[in-house]
């Protein structure tokens, strides 16, 4: 029998795979998601996403649902072994440049349940749980994925024009394309503890990083009743040494009063090896790697899950454009060119943070005690920590900038709220946008809208106007993923770089094209 053919097969239904499937569906692209587990994997893992990823959550259509299961974090505290505050970096829970809180704490199984329920609303997506992908073979104009039904033991195959490997750190897809993980020389063993309790321990509502050479630790309250601790394991220790509350109590007692002990529920205790790794290549022909299949990030800056979601956002619109015949296949070359250096930068930052936090013994601890209270005096450091702006993308065919002055190219456009209550993302809505400080001509506005884009005219005195001026730009072309593709002095210069591209779910436009003013 001939195997069925679909445009895209996605291996793995974690956050990366579910995000990719949802965004492709918004562009009208059919996909099949193959997942080993029948339902949501029940164990808590990721607990943090930043404002940039919260923007993506909104675009996926689950913003209100996410707000119901998450809590904004107030920032970051650096504390010593006695929990005395060495430094504090506050974040506004009302939101920042991304339009949403810049630090959000949540329970990953609850997020994945939201993503799955939302995915069911898109008829372009099919999902098969309880299947194990066993191999892949490249054929003339497609890729064949073979998989077994774990319940029946039966074997099946499906052909796809493209395959996305979102199948985690032990990725079969990565192995199938001959890619290997490059070790970035960071390995630490940590104990991860999740506790549920109705008792409020009364701690500050942000993340706590404990500088202690004997036992570095992290604490976060991730929900109304959920709390997360991470403790670095010493040589010779393992999770088996802390399997119940009685054995965990010496670690938890400094955080919890004795009266709290009987009201605690141990949700999970597990040993994790924090690693820094990067796949040597992220693509082989029609097969791509995303998420943990492509990179592993130590958790010290809370960017592990977010990096995979960024992968999905970067690739999905390009893949949709190619499959719909609106973009040349060469744009797919920009995925690894853009995402791999970006992921590498965040891995290096996480690795550096982990080393600063945990290494150096007693001498290192004394240095941390001296330097941490003075960190806020370093020019730009506080702003960098709390701004919510991730590094810009490297130059590529879709990030165009002069060699001597980069400007805004590669940066994410701020998601400012406008006078009518809508944000920039609401107007861009997954399409191309031209943002300009001057009025475009009727012909220019018509060209942009005929190609599926939108013109945003920003007014003097607004945050977006200041952002453009700060980047020495009068007009920018913003890609469907919110990244500035290029800058120019006039709209006409950008029209030549604007392809015909728009999400299939974009509401139909009526009347003559007019630019939207951003107040």
Q: What is the mean pLDDT of the segment spanning 120-130?
A: 96
- Using a pLDDT cut of 90, give the percent of the chain over it: 72
pLDDT at 289: 98
Longest dimension (CA), the chain: 73
Residues forming beta bridges with residue 188, ordered by sequence position: 274
36-95 confidence digits (pLDDT tens): 999 998 877 899 999 999 999 999 999 999 999 999 999 888 888 889 888 888 888 888
In whole angstroms, what is the distance from residue 443 CA to residue 441 CA?
5
161-220 confidence digits (pLDDT tens): 999 999 999 999 999 999 999 999 999 999 999 999 988 888 999 999 998 878 999 999
Backbone angles phi and psi of 446, in degrees to 5: -65, -40
pLDDT at 508: 32
Higher pLDDT, 354 or 515: 354
In whole angstroms, what is the distance from residue 265 CA to residue 262 CA?
8
Q: What is the mean pLDDT of the segment spanning 23-32?
A: 96
Query: Strand, helix or coil at 314?
Result: helix
pLDDT at 393: 95
Would you call 251 exposed, middle or buried from its count of C-beta atoms within 10 A (0-12, 13-18, 19+)? middle
Is 516 a residue whose pLDDT tops 80?
no
264-276 confidence digits (pLDDT tens): 999 999 999 999 9
Which helix (H) or strand (E) element contains residue 268?
A: strand 265-279
Q: What is the pTM of this model?
A: 0.92
Which helix (H) or strand (E) element contains residue 284?
A: strand 283-284
User: What's the full length of the chain, in residues?
Assistant: 519
* 87-118: burial string, b at 16+ Cβ within 10 Å, e else: bbbebebebbbbbbbbbbbbbbbbbbebbbeb
- CA nearest 499: which of 413, 405, 432? 432
CB 133 within 8 A of CB 167: yes
Q: Give the distance, in angstroms, between the CA of residue 275 and the centroid of all CA atoms in the same chain.
A: 18
Confidence of residue 385 (pLDDT cuts 50, 70, 90): low
As given in the structure block, the two tokens for residue 189 are 């063993």
CB 13 within 8 A of CB 35: yes
Most confident of 181-190, 221-230, 330-339: 330-339
Neighbours of 151 (CB within 10 A): 10
414-452 confidence digits (pLDDT tens): 999 877 788 999 999 999 999 999 999 999 999 999 999
Average pLDDT of the chain is: 89
Residues forming beta bridges with residue 192, ordered by sequence position: 230, 270
Is 367 a residue whose pLDDT tops 80?
no
Q: What is the mean pLDDT of the segment spanning 512-518?
A: 45
pLDDT at 231: 96
Residues forming beta bridges with residue 478, ordered by sequence position: 433, 484
Is 509 a residue whose pLDDT tops 80?
no
Confidence of residue 8 (pLDDT cuts 50, 70, 90): very high
In whole angstroms, what is the distance from residue 222 CA to residue 109 CA?
13
CB 220 within 8 A of CB 228: yes
Backbone angles phi and psi of 105, in degrees to 5: -110, 140
As given in the structure block, the two tokens for residue 401 are 């900038």
pLDDT at 377: 58
pLDDT at 507: 32
CB 51 within 8 A of CB 100: yes
């Amino acid at each position: 029998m001939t195997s069925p053919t679909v445009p895209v097969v996605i291996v793995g239904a974690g956050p990366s795979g579910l995000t990719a499937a949802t965004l492709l569906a918004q562009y009208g692209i059919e996909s099949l998601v193959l997942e080993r587990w029948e339902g949501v994997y029940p164990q808590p893992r990721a607990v943090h996403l930043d404002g940039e990823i919260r923007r993506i959550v909104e675009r996926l259509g689950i913003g209100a649902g996410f707000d119901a299961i998450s809590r904004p974090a107030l920032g970051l505290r650096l504390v010593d072994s006695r929990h005395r505050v060495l430094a504090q970096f506050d974040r506004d829970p009302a939101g920042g440049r991304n339009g949403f809180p810049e630090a959000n704490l949540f329970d990953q199984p609850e997020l994945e349940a939201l993503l799955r329920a939302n995915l069911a609303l898109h008829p372009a997506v099919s999902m098969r749980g309880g299947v194990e992908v066993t191999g892949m073979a490249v054929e003339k104009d497609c890729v064949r994925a073979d998989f077994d039904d774990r319940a029946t033991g039966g074997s099946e195959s499906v052909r796809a024009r493209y395959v996305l490997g979102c199948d985690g750190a032990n990725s079969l897809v990565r192995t199938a394309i001959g890619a290997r993980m490059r070790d970035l020389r960071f390995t630490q063993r940590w104990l991860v503890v999740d506790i549920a309790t109705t008792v409020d321990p009364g701690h500050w509502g942000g993340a706590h990083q404990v500088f202690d050479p004997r036992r570095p630790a992290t604490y976060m309250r991730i929900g109304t009743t959920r709390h997360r601790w991470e403790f670095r394991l010493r040589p010779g220790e393992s999770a088996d040494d802390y399997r119940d509350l009685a054995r965990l109590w010496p670690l938890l007692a400094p955080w919890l009063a004795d009266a709290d002990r009987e009201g605690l529920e141990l949700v999970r205790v597990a040993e994790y090896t924090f690693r820094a790794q990067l796949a040597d290549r992220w693509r082989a022909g029609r097969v791509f790697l995303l998420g943990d299949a492509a990179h592993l990030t130590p958790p010290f800056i809370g960017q592990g899950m977010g990096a995979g979601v960024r992968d999905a956002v970067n690739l999905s619109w390009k893949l949709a454009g190619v499959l719909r015949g609106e973009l040349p296949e060469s744009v797919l070359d920009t995925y690894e060119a853009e995402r791999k250096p970006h992921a590498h930068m965040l891995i290096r930052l996480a690795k550096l943070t982990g080393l600063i936090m945990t290494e150096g013994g007693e001498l290192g601890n004394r240095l941390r005690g001296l330097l941490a209270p003075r960190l806020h005096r370093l020019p730009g450091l506080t702003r960098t920590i709390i701004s919510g702006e991730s590094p810009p993308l490297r130059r590529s065919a879709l990030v165009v900038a002069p060699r001597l002055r980069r400007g805004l190219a590669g940066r994410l456009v701020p998601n400012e709220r406008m006078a009518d209550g809508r944000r920039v993302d609401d107007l861009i809505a997954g399409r191309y946008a031209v943002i300009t400080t001057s009025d475009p001509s009727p012909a220019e506005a018509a060209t942009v809208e005929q190609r599926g884009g939108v013109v945003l005219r920003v007014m003097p005195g607004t945050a977006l106007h200041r952002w453009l001026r700060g980047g020495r730009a009068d007009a920018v072309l913003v890609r469907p993923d919110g990244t500035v593709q290029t800058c120019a002095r006039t709209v006409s210069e950008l029209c030549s770089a604007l392809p015909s591209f728009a999400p299939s779910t974009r509401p139909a436009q009526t009347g003559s094209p007019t630019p939207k003013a951003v107040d």
